[in-house]
Structure 1
Amino acid sequence: MIVKTKNVMFRNDEAFPLRVKFEMQPITAMHSHEFVEIVVVLSGKGIHTTSFESRPIERGDVLVIPPGGVHAYDEADNLELMNVLFDPSRLPMPILDMNKLPGFHALFAINSNFFESNRYYPAFHIGADDFEPVKVILQQMKTESELMNPAYRLCFLGYFMALLGNLCRFYVDNHTAAHETAMNISKVINFLNTNYSRKLRLEEIIVKVGMSRSAFMRQFVQATGTSPIDYLLQIRMANACRLLRSTEQSISEIGYQVGFNDSNYFSRMFNKIIGQTAREYRKHQNL
């Protein structure tokens, strides 16, 4: 089976791993990628096959293949696709408030193992009225990538961010019942990102998704690679690092602001997770 690698796909600009391709899709054997692939069907029809299912695709369908995902096209009848390929671990992409979009986590921030265990890759359909603005964004991305005018990276990334924002919104409204678990986990991730400074109890989190404790813990670990408590700690530490870099607040004040009522405990956890004391971290950032 062919594996499409990052080094080959982004070899022309390794520091900016984002590509867009318009193509008439031929019948293609099973293959995988080391990066995320967003497939938007512009016209025609076909059969898209994964390890789990074969399904017909048509204009307005969107597929998201996670890193390591395996797929093929078994039929292609004038099938015109727009493929957006990117490496989220290396692309200098500002997240901004996308962490507050459950669709973002469900589509792009959940571990590949979650999709393999639940036997699906994200897929949804965009209605005709909503699809036209998406096509405009895709065309703008194509133009920027081809002309490569000054500041093309800036504009290309801006259009890409607009595409992600729109896809995340549409997915929330158009996902199927089979994808509800991912949306529930994504809502929890959103809740943690929004309420990390509060004192949170696991029971308060679980009640939001209507799952048993054991099922929730299993699905959350599959989706994020860690427990809810450890995930919350990571969010708190990321925000503590941000405040250490951008403010003159004392270390104790920052600890309280990100959810620690005990400054000594905050200092211990910061050292354990970040690998240096908060004072050392701030000093190195100011060099």
Structure 2
Amino acid sequence: MFVFSTKRNVLKIEWRFRMDFFLNWFTQDETFPFFIQYGTHDEDLCLHTHADFSELVIVLSGTATHVVDGEEYPIRKGDVFVISNNTAHGYKHPKNFHICNIMFHLSYFLDYQSDIKTTAGFHALFVIEPTLTKTQGFKRQLTLNLAQYEEIHTLIVSLKNEYETKLPGYQTMIISLLSQLFTSLSRFYDVSQKSDSKEVVSIANTIAYMENHYNEDLSIEELAQY
């Protein structure tokens, strides 16, 4: 059970029992851990956590306040962020707020040979920022410009169509499209580095360097340069 409090204009939730969302609430296919949907929020969405999946969120229109572990952050069209499991989040004060939710098991869609893991943008957006969110709060998100948004929107329309029609080979198509989506977002993150993301970028560069030189003996001094 849970109760809400709006005192001092802060959305709070008091847990008596932990409220977790599971991927099998959205899809019954245990062999293919993926789900995509469009979401329209006319009212506040209570705080919740993801028990066994990550969620990629693309804001398609409007504005809202993103509540992450009790802290509040404004979000708007073009913002992109990843929420990993066991991070409590929700939305309040939505205005014409439409999003795309993509739920998945990241490890399933990235085999060990995937070269996207050698890019700093991937580690920043999909690994480091979601991890830091749990301990240091929601620092920032990727914000797409108009051209980037159109590219990403085209991909998610194709993803949703493949998922809903389920034509022969649809899983292969989804894996291909999702790889394109992850790669494009990782590249966009690389070119949108800001001063307020220096910590994330520094860690991401170090991990990417390690991925690119995994078969070499690396010293602490060498890694510290990144």
Q: Same fold (TM over 0.5)?
A: yes
Q: Does 1:85 align with 2:103?
A: yes
Structure ID, larger Rg: 1
**What is the CA-CA distance between 1:97 and the residue it aligns to?**
0.8
**Structure 1 residues 208-240: Cα deviation after superposition (integer angstroms, max 9, x where no partner):** 13xxxxxxxxxxxxxxxxxxxxxxxxxxxxxxx
The answer as to whether partners of 1:64 and 1:122 remain within 8 angstroms in 2 is no
1:149 and 2:167 matched: yes
Q: Residue 2 of structure 1: CA displacement? A: 2.6
Q: Would you say 1:17 and 2:33 are equivalent positions?
A: yes
Distance across 2 between alignment mates of 1:191 and 1:182: 14
Provide the rounded CA distance (Å) in 2 between the counterparts of 1:102 and 1:113. Answer: 15
2:141 maps to 123
1:230 aligned partner:
none
Separation in 1 of the partners of 2:213 and 2:109?
26
Whole-Å separation in 2 of the counterparts to 1:111 and 1:77: 26
**CA RMSD of superposed structures (Å):** 2.0
1:134 and 2:152 correspond: yes
Q: Secondary structure at the match of 1:196?
A: coil
**Counterpart in 2 of 1:32?**
49
Overall identity of the aligned pairs, in %: 26
Q: Distance in 1 between matches of 2:90 and 2:71?
A: 11
Residue of structure 2 in register with 1:218 after alignment = none
Residues of 2 paired with 1:92 and 1:60: CA distance? 24
Task: Work out the CA distance in 1 between the residues paired with 2:60 and 2:40.
Answer: 10
Rounded Cα–Cα distance in structure 1 between residues aligned with 2:140 and 2:211: 22
Q: Using a 3 Å threshold, how does the CA distance of structure 1 residues 62 and 111 change in structure 2: closer, same or farther?
A: closer
The answer (yes or no) to whether the contact 1:33–1:67 under 8 Å persists in 2 is: yes
* TM-score, scaled relative to structure 1: 0.67
- Give the AA of the match of 2:68: T
Q: 1:157 to 1:194 in 2, by over 3 A?
A: same
* Residue equivalent to 1:62: 80
Distance 1:150 1:43, change over 3 A: same
Q: Residue by residue, what CA displacement relative to the aligned partner does 1:225-257 show, whole Å, maximum 9, x if unpaired?
A: xxxxxxxxxxxxxxxxxxxxxxxxxxxxxxxxx
Check if 1:7 corresponds to 2:24: yes
More strand by share: 2
3-state SS in 2 of match to 1:190 = helix
The residue matched to 1:72 in structure 2 has which SS? Answer: strand
Superposition pairs for residues 242-261 of structure 1, below 5 Å? none
**Hey, what's the Cα distance between the residues in 1 that align with 2:186 and 2:84?**
15
Q: Which has the higher contact order (CA 8 A, sep 6+)?
A: 2
1:43 counterpart letter in structure 2: S
Change (3 A) 1:71 1:6: same
Decide whether the 8 Å contact of 1:48 with 1:73 is kept in 2: yes
Q: Could you tell me which residue of structure 1 aligns to residue 117 of structure 2?
A: 99
Aligned partner of 2:80: which letter? V
Structure 1 residues 201, 182: CA separation in 2 closer, same or farther (over 3 Å shift)?
Answer: same
Calculate the TM-score normalised by the size of structure 2. 0.83
Corresponding residue for residue 48 of structure 1: 66
- Which deviations, in whole Å up to 9, do the C-alpha atoms of 1:258-285 show, x marking residues without a partner? xxxxxxxxxxxxxxxxxxxxxxxxxxxx
C-alpha change, 1:18 and 1:123, in structure 2 (3 Å) is: same
Consecutive unaligned residues in structure 2, runs of 5 or more: 1-17
**Higher helix fraction (1 or 2):** 1
Amino acid at match of 1:196: Y
Amino acid at match of 1:169: R
2:106 counterpart SS class? coil
Aligned residues: 206
CA distance in 2, matches of 1:121, 1:64: 12
